[in-house]
Amino acid sequence: MQMTSNTGPRLGIHQLLNLESVQLRLKGTQREDVLRELVEAIPVLKKESAARNTLFLALLEREKLHSTGIGDGVALPHARNALVGMVENPVIVFGRHANGVPFGAIDGEPSRIFFLVVAPNVTQHLGILARLSRMLRDPKLRQALLLAEKPDKVINLLKQAETDL
């Protein structure tokens, strides 16, 4: 299953990332700090401070309902529903934290790998979350993402993981 953008082409997870949206050295020590860093890394919202703030607040609200920390050191921050009109096409920001951040995951482990998901509609939103969840079940992929030294390596690892699904 691949996501279809509003313009028609089918997009894989790796195509929803770019070098600018891969953050290998998150610095925040709290969930809110990391969420802010991830939001600030969305290329299409760089000049849209109001949109970034709206998204940040929506993410905080979502975390109050139930943590997006899914365990095994992974969190998939996303707003409860797609934020219609915020982006034209789905966007993912990958973030990695060296030590991990308490994120309220069910296994109690800190999250080190983050995928912020922003989509223009609910279908794409749910499709991306489902695909990421399946991919990230693989402990080899999680380990490789923790060790990747450059953003292009992260993108290539995700491309390969999608091929292997």
Residue whose tokens read 């308490």:
102
CATH architecture of the domain 17-164 equals: 3-Layer(aba) Sandwich (3.40)
Which residues are CB-neighbours of 111 under 8 A, at least 6 positions away? 34, 69, 73, 74, 75, 97, 100, 101, 102, 103, 105
Residue 1's pLDDT is 39
Residue boundaries of the structural domains of the chain:
17-164
Residue 122's pLDDT is 86
Q: Which of 14, 66, 78, 97 is catalytic?
A: 78
CA 124/CA 118 separation, integer angstroms: 9
CA 127/CA 36 separation, integer angstroms: 24
Catalytic residue at 78? Answer: yes
12 CB neighbour count, 10 Å cutoff: 17
Helix (H) or strand (E) holding 70: strand 69-71
Residue 70's pLDDT is 96
pLDDT by residue, tens only, the chain of 165 residues: 344 444 344 579 999 999 999 999 999 999 999 999 999 999 999 999 999 999 999 999 999 999 999 999 999 999 866 566 788 899 999 999 999 999 999 999 999 999 999 998 888 989 999 999 999 999 999 999 999 999 999 999 999 999 988
Residue whose tokens read 């296994």:
107
